[in-house]
Amino acid sequence: MNEREYLGLQNRRRFLREAAGGLGMAALGDLLTADKLTAASADSMTPRQPHFPGKAKHVIYMFMEGGPSQYELFDEKPVLRQWHGKPLPESMTKEMKLAFIKPTAAVMASQFKFARHGKSGMALSELLPRLGTCADDLTLVRSMQTDAFNHHPGQLLLFTGSIQFGRPSMGSWVTYGLGSESQNLPGFVVLTSGRGTSGGASNFGSGFMPSHFQGTVFRNSGDPILYLSNPPGVSRDFQHETLESVNALNAHRYETTGDAEIASRISSYELAFRMQMAAPDLLDFSKEPAAIREMYGVDSEDKDLKQYASNCLLARRLVERGVRFVLMMDASWDHHGRLNKELPKRCKKIDQPTAALIKDLKQRGLLDETLLVWGGEFGRTPMVEMRRPNDVESAGRDHHPNAFSMWMAGGGFKGGYTHGKTDDLCLNVAEDPVHVHDLQATILKQLGFEHARLTYRHTGRDFRLTDVHGKFISKLVG
């Protein structure tokens, strides 16, 4: 579909179809029965069929902003110990794109131990013990690659397929492709924890697509959705009366002007009201069994853990209610310094809730149809970044786009599978590279789309999430 076809929807047909979902629309009843038109599938947010039946129906994308270190978490490199404290020869570093450090910086070995988990024997770091108990549900990709070595460009590439501004984000593409199954919540929801991200709104913007495909941010303080609560002094009944009057005025205006856009307005007001009604239930965790609350950690004393746990539990509840794409953004994993102190803290905060989410989805039979993706926009260097040369604790790692790790679970991805290999120092991918465009293509495939055919026409060109790249990596899926 293109923009023109969207605009073509502004006609009587749409008016009648959209008004059909209305509440208290006596004035329109006659119009509706007089017209034999029924709902068409081209409506922007109605659920739609993909190119072929997809394995997954929902995505929960856990974006670890900043670039988690693969050395400490997913890709054990004992050889680093031999190089510890020494610079690498120029021949090995000349292809590296470094943001802060110089190629002559010394190598730093990881301090953390790895252990094998599950039947598959997947090697994971001691920093993620609970995730280890889910190893047989994970597809660990050690051979991720990207092109950008700065945060904002890296995040643009990961989420929009291009380092240029103005393209729709992954969540927008997915809701554009599949529509939304939720009657009273937005199709694409964004949850945040930690500080703001480098990519900001472009990670969930709709670019040149209509704005209803952009992610709706659920906020951590105040209303979860902006302006969700009635203003002070306005009760639910009062609000309802106001809406009835708005609809009556609008229906009357439609009779005068015949403008189908008014029907859209009516249905928007109704969805808004339904959102107001549905949100308290969505956010009310009190009816969750104690075991579930404990499993996630939503009552934890640790504020950070509690916040991330709440987002994980909320993500499950959103998916249960038909939300198509949940983007969780956690910032920041950009450990240029104090890596050995800060990374374990970060891991402690996310490990328990993440494992809980996987297990909970699984026990509810939702893991098959929900695709979980976990990772950052790039990885980190083998070389140390030490801004204070005499302060060992200040050591961290720089950005590294050439080789890094991510994992997926559910949505038809293979459980207990480790994909790809990096060289002894994780400088480059040695086997089975997966570019971020390939990841995008594979995610779309699992949702039922041929990535090269999911297009949107803008300025005379058919754009796609994978730009002009990307290939489906069949080995990743079962």
Partner 1 sequence: MTNQIPVFLLVAATSAAAQDFARDIEPVLHRKCYGCHGAALQMNGLRLDDKAAALKGGYSGVAIQPGSAEKSSLIARVASAKDGFRMPPAGPKLTEAEVAALRAWIDKGAEWPEAAAAAKKAPAWKKLPWSFEAVKVPAIPAAGEGWARNPIDRFIAAKLAAENVKPSPAAAKLTLLRRVSLDLTGLPPAPAEIEAFLADSSPAAYEHLVDRLLQSPHYGERWARQWLDLARYADSDGYEKDLPRLYAWRWRQWVIEALNADMSFDRFTALQLAGDLLPNAGPEEHVATGFHRNTLRNREGGVKLEQTFFEETVDRVNTVSTVWMGLTTGCAQCHDHKYDPISQKDYYSLYAFFDNIDQVYVDAPMPGEMEPYRAKRAEYVAKRQALLDEYGIPALMRPWEEKVRWAAKNVGKEPDWDLTYDVIFQMSDGGHKFIWIDEAKRTYRQQEILVDYFIDWYNLVVPKETIDKLKPKELKKKLRALKESYPQLSQAAVITDLAEPQQSYLRVRGDYARLGIEVQPAGLGVLKPVKENGRATRLDLARWLTSPDHPLTARVAVNRMWQEFFGRGLVRTSEDFGRQGEAPTHPELLDWLASDFMTNGWKIKRMHKAIVMSATYCQQSNARPELADRDPENAWLARQNRLRLPAEAIRDSALRAAGLLSESIGGKSVYPPQPAGVMELTYQWETDRWEESAGTDKYRRGLYTFFQRTAPYPQMMNFDAPDSNVAASRRRRSNTPLQALNLLNDPVFHEAAEALTGRVLKEGGADTQARIDRAFVLAFARHPDERERQILTGTLARHRAVLGKEGKLTENAAWLGVTRALLNADEFVTRE
- Residues in 18-57 that interact with partner 1 by CB under 8 A: none
**Hey, what are 87's tokens?**
């610079």
Binding residues for partner 1 restricted to 215-234, rule: CB under 8 A? 216-217, 219-223, 225-231, 233-234
* Crossing angle of the two packed helices 303-320 and 339-363, in degrees rounded to 10: 30
Can you tell me the distance from the alpha carbon of 1 to that of 457, in angstroms, rounded to the nearest whole number? Answer: 8
Work out whether strand 188-194 and strand 138-145 pair parallel, antiparallel, or are unpaired: unpaired
Binding residues for partner 1, rule CB under 8 A, total 92
Nearer to partner 1, 192 or 354 (CB): 192
Shortest distance, CB of residue 200 to partner 1, whole angstroms? 3
Rounded to a whole number of angstroms, the CA Rg of the chain reads 24
Nearer to partner 1, 139 or 203 (CB): 203
Binding residues for partner 1 restricted to 374-433, rule: CB under 8 A? 385-389, 398-399
Nearer to partner 1, 8 or 280 (CB): 8
Q: Could you say which of 120, 150, 340, 455 contacts partner 1 (CB under 8 A)?
A: 150
Task: Specify the stretch interacting with partner 1 by CB under 8 A; choose among 201-209, 291-299, 316-324, 359-367.
Answer: 201-209
Classify the phi-psi angles of 316: left when phi > 0, otherwise alpha if psi is within -120 to 50, otherwise beta.
alpha
Q: Could you say which of 196, 280, 363, 424 contacts partner 1 (CB under 8 A)?
A: 196
Can you tell me the distance from the alpha carbon of 161 to that of 42, in angstroms, rounded to the nearest whole number? Answer: 25
Residues in contact with 76: Cβ distance below 8 Å, sequence separation at least 6, in sequence order: 110, 114, 123, 125
Q: Could you say which of 23, 26, 40, 201 contacts partner 1 (CB under 8 A)?
A: 201
Q: Could you say which of 47, 166, 322, 416 contacts partner 1 (CB under 8 A)?
A: 166
Shortest distance, CB of residue 264 to partner 1, whole angstroms? 4
Shortest distance, CB of residue 148 to partner 1, whole angstroms? 11
Shortest distance, CB of residue 365 to partner 1, whole angstroms? 30
Burial of 381 (0-12, 13-18, 19+ CB in 10 A): buried
Q: Could you say which of 160, 198, 307, 402 contacts partner 1 (CB under 8 A)?
A: 198
Q: Could you say which of 48, 212, 321, 362 contacts partner 1 (CB under 8 A)?
A: 212
Binding mask 334-353 for partner 1 (x = CB under 8 A): --x-----------------
Nearer to partner 1, 139 or 307 (CB): 307
Binding mask 173-192 for partner 1 (x = CB under 8 A): -------------x-----x
Can you tell me the distance from the alpha carbon of 361 to that of 410, in angstroms, rounded to the nearest whole number? Answer: 9
Shortest distance, CB of residue 122 to partner 1, whole angstroms? 29
CA of residue 379 relative to chain centroid, distance: 18
Nearer to partner 1, 50 or 67 (CB): 67
- Phi, psi torsion values for 343, nearest 5 degrees: -65, -45
Residue 214 carries which DSSP code?
S
Shortest distance, CB of residue 207 to partner 1, whole angstroms? 9
Shortest distance, CB of residue 163 to partner 1, whole angstroms? 9
Residue 147 carries which DSSP code?
S
Nearer to partner 1, 45 or 361 (CB): 45
- Residue 171 near residue 318, CB atoms below 8 Å: no
Angle at the Cα of 336 from the Cα atoms of 331 and 340, rounded to 5 degrees:
90
Can you tell me the distance from the alpha carbon of 109 to that of 72, in angstroms, rounded to the nearest whole number? Answer: 9
Nearer to partner 1, 151 or 419 (CB): 151
Binding residues for partner 1 restricted to 87-126, rule: CB under 8 A? 98-105
**Hey, what are 440's tokens?**
């995008």
Nearer to partner 1, 399 or 464 (CB): 399
Binding residues for partner 1 restricted to 246-305, rule: CB under 8 A? 246, 248-250, 252-253, 256-262, 264-265, 268-269, 271-273, 275-276
Residue 68 carries which DSSP code?
-
Can you tell me the distance from the alpha carbon of 413 to that of 408, in angstroms, rounded to the nearest whole number? Answer: 7
* Crossing angle of the two packed helices 12-19 and 26-34, in degrees rounded to 10: 130
Task: Specify the stretch interacting with partner 1 by CB under 8 A; choose among 127-135, 212-220, 357-365, 424-432.
Answer: 212-220
Can you tell me the distance from the alpha carbon of 446 to that of 412, in angstroms, rounded to the nearest whole number? Answer: 7
Can you tell me the distance from the alpha carbon of 164 to that of 102, in angstroms, rounded to the nearest whole number? Answer: 27
Q: Could you say which of 2, 49, 164, 183 contacts partner 1 (CB under 8 A)?
A: 164
- Residue 45 near residue 179, CB atoms below 8 Å: yes
Nearer to partner 1, 4 or 287 (CB): 4
First to last CA, the chain: 31
- Residue 139 near residue 417, CB atoms below 8 Å: yes
The reply to whether 130 sits near partner 1 by the rule CB under 8 A is: no
Shortest distance, CB of residue 259 to partner 1, whole angstroms? 5
Residue for token pair 């920093």: 127
Nearer to partner 1, 85 or 121 (CB): 85
Residues in contact with 429: Cβ distance below 8 Å, sequence separation at least 6, in sequence order: 143, 145, 402, 403, 420, 421, 422, 423
Task: Specify the stretch interacting with partner 1 by CB under 8 A; choose among 34-42, 237-245, 298-306, 416-424.
Answer: 237-245
Task: Specify the stretch interacting with partner 1 by CB under 8 A; choose among 123-131, 196-204, 349-357, 412-420.
Answer: 196-204
